[in-house]
Amino acid sequence: MSRVILGIESSCDETGVGLVRLHDDGTVELLADEVASSVEQHARFGGVVPEVASRAHLEAMVPTAERAFATAGLTLSDVDAIAVTAGPGLAGALLVGVSAAKAYAAALDVPLYGVNHLAGHIAVDTLQHGPLPKPCLALLVSGGHTQLLRVDDIAGEITEVGSTVDDAAGEAYDKVARVLGLPYPGGPPIDQAARAGNPTAIDFPRGMTGPRDAKFDFSFSGLKTAVARWVENAERRGEEIPVDDVAASFQEAVADVLTAKAVRAAKEMGIGTLVISGGVAANSRLSSLARERCEAAGIELRVPRPRLCTDNGAMIAALGAHVVAAGRKPSALDLSANPALPVEVVSLEA
Amino acid sequence: MLVLALDTSTPAVTAGVAELAAGVTVLAERVTLDARAHGELITPHALDAAREAGVALKDVAAIVVGAGPGPFTGLRAGLATAAALGHALGVPVHPVCSLDAIAQQVDAGEPFTVVTDARRREVYWAAYAADGTRTDGPHVQAPAELSLGLAAGDGARLYAEQLGARVVEPYYPSTAGLVAAARDALTSGAAPAPLTPLYLRRPDAVEPGARKRVTTS
Ligand SMILES: [Zn+2]
């Protein structure tokens, strides 16, 4: 008998509620994916303001859930299990989703699974491309994370291969956008500007690629500073800033490091599949360069469609479905959110 | 009418089940004093209270929730819980001012104030007539700026000296107080008010100024 899983996400600035159906053969079908974003409320602050995000989550939670059930043509009584992001993320934001999820679980008398947001970004790919090969490698890139993960089992066996030592890739996009006078969030406008620019115009540094640097870690803080310095020097000389070229050259540096390290890790570990997910996965240069390099290395590349890559409830429902299918124990109803939940903890068993 | 009451506006994580008829009869209540455990405990407390009362959550006809004022994060745990329970159970959720819920339990015979701890060396307060009708507030303010007579609530106890208050119980909202404060809304059959938290403070957020230069000229 198939089971319906409700997924709730509130770790950052998107309130997401998703519904999926877990079929007997283990496949997971997307039924609804509703998101309310508070991104516009953060724009004038140039980054996510936790209290503003938390307030927005509380307002949006039930209306977003109502929309998800309407889209799926289901009622609450159809739900067989609930999955919620237990971390990592913003403490106050996580608490809203976890509180709501517990209440739904208690009222409907169904099991609750507190799950890992990062694993959700990987699990979401199964909604589009089917079961994940074991093992696979995942590159998560967004405003909040930049991580390279080895996934032996999406329901419980994930290990970190590398991560950023400073800024997340998406953060670097936001900061560089600000330097160039482009709007927040910086990803889409930089991608847009870069299309008209020359990616080899400026040779920006590739962070953490020296012989003594950790092979699979990332750093974007130096790149961000290099861009700011380049722009300031040009300004001082009274030159007009070639925004398109700066954007293209910056984007090239980010895409180059991310894909080079991901492909190298896959090759060294003998892993044949790379999944790229997270908000930055939608970046045109990252995906085209990844495609090029994966093809050359004989690696299968999977990138979920942009709507699934950004934070949403469907990814949490999808992960919940895999956790349920694997027979993991549910969480206790006194579960607490963990803003620093390690990626190795896919679900919090009671 | 079987009512579930929740409040997380103070360090007391409170959930209870009450029968509202001519009076309010509390059937069971769970309270834990822990300002850091609102999110962990409010749903287990609701389930435990229902179990002790011998009812199921789906038996309740309405939910009453304290809408604050209260420190943001804890306050939201109760409101998010109440909103989702109301959605899942298909019952109305009535917000009440948490200070009103405390006022309902004060038997003063004279005008009084309810004061709770707002942290950051401030208090939330509201003034009440002898019959428990709110006459001013809620506000958030430094206790030194206030001069009170009779006062209830944990903020009154905490800052008794600065407030010049004669402190009386209760210190926290209770199931009985919450349901009593919502009595008119519960019995009128009217649509509940929107679940708007009484934050009383704006989020701490500053718009960035001019971009900082990384080069020194
Ligand atoms: Zn994310």
Pull the structure tokens for residue A77: 């009584």
- DSSP bridge pairs for A8: A17, A84
CB contact under 8 Å between B77 and A229, yes or no, is: no
Could you read off the pLDDT tens digit of each residue along chain B, which spans 217 residues?
999 999 999 999 999 999 999 999 999 999 999 988 999 999 999 999 999 999 999 999 999 999 999 998 999 999 999 999 999 999 999 999 999 999 999 998 999 999 999 999 999 999 999 999 999 999 999 999 999 999 999 999 999 999 999 999 999 999 999 999 999 999 998 899 999 999 999 887 777 776 777 776 5
Q: Enumerate residues 173 to 202 of chain B having a beta carbon within 8 A of any beta carbon in chain A.
A: 197, 199
Picking from A138, A170, A177, A153, the residue whose alpha carbon sits closest to that of residue A290 is A138
- How would you classify the pairing of strands A146-153 and A136-141? antiparallel
Q: In the prediction, which pLDDT does B192 show?
A: 94
User: What gap in Å lies between CA B127 and CA B156, rounded to an integer?
Assistant: 12
Task: Lowest mean pLDDT of A10-14, A328-332, B203-207, name the range.
Answer: B203-207
pLDDT tens-digit profile of A156-210?
Answer: 999 999 999 999 999 999 999 999 999 989 999 999 999 999 999 999 999 999 8
CB contact under 8 Å between A233 and B88, yes or no, is: no
Assess B84–A contact: CB distance below 8 Å, yes or no: yes
User: What gap in Å lies between CA B79 and CA B93, rounded to an integer?
Assistant: 10
Q: In the prediction, which pLDDT does B138 show?
A: 97
How many angstroms separate the CA of residue A315 from the nearest CA in chain B?
20
Beta-strand runs (E) in chain B? 2-7, 12-20, 24-33, 62-66, 93-96, 112-117, 123-128, 134-141, 150-152, 166-168
The residue type found at A187 is G
A47 phi and psi, to 5 degrees?
Answer: 175, 170
Picking from A54, A32, A22, the residue whose alpha carbon sits closest to that of residue A313 is A32
CB contact under 8 Å between B80 and A61, yes or no, is: yes
The residue type found at A272 is G
Q: In the prediction, which pLDDT does B214 show?
A: 75
The tokens 């600065």 sit on which residue?
B162
Q: What distance in angstroms lies between residue A130's CA and the mean position of ligand 1's atoms?
A: 21
CB A346 within 8 A of CB A156: yes
Q: In the prediction, which pLDDT does B217 show?
A: 53
Pull the structure tokens for residue B116: 């709770």
Picking from A165, A128, A150, the residue whose alpha carbon sits closest to that of residue A262 is A150
b/e code B132-160 from CB counts within 10 Å (16+ = b): bebeebbbbeebeebebebbbbbbbbbbb
Q: How many CB atoms lie within 10 A of CB B90?
A: 10
How many angstroms separate the CA of residue A6 from the nearest CA in chain B?
12
CB contact under 8 Å between A95 and B215, yes or no, is: no
User: What gap in Å lies between CA A27 and CA A11, rounded to an integer?
Assistant: 26
**ipTM surpassing 0.90:** yes
pLDDT tens-digit profile of A19-43?
Answer: 999 999 999 999 999 999 988 898 8
User: What gap in Å lies between CA A317 and CA A81, rounded to an integer?
Assistant: 9
Give the closest of B57, B86, B213 to A106, CB-based: B57
How many angstroms separate the CA of residue B165 from the nearest CA in chain A?
33
Note the pTM of the prediction, 2 decimals. 0.95
Q: In the prediction, which pLDDT does B61 show?
A: 97
Residues in A touching B42 (Cβ below 8 Å): 99
Q: For chains A and B, what is the number of CB pairs under 8 angstroms?
A: 121
Return left, alpha or beta for A192; rule: phi > 0 is left, psi -120 to 50 is alpha, else beta: alpha
Q: How many CB atoms lie within 10 A of CB B51?
A: 14
Please tell me whether A13 is known to bind a ligand: no
Q: In the prediction, which pLDDT does A1 show?
A: 84
Environment class of A239 (CB within 10 Å of its CB; exposed 0-12, middle 13-18, buried 19+):
exposed
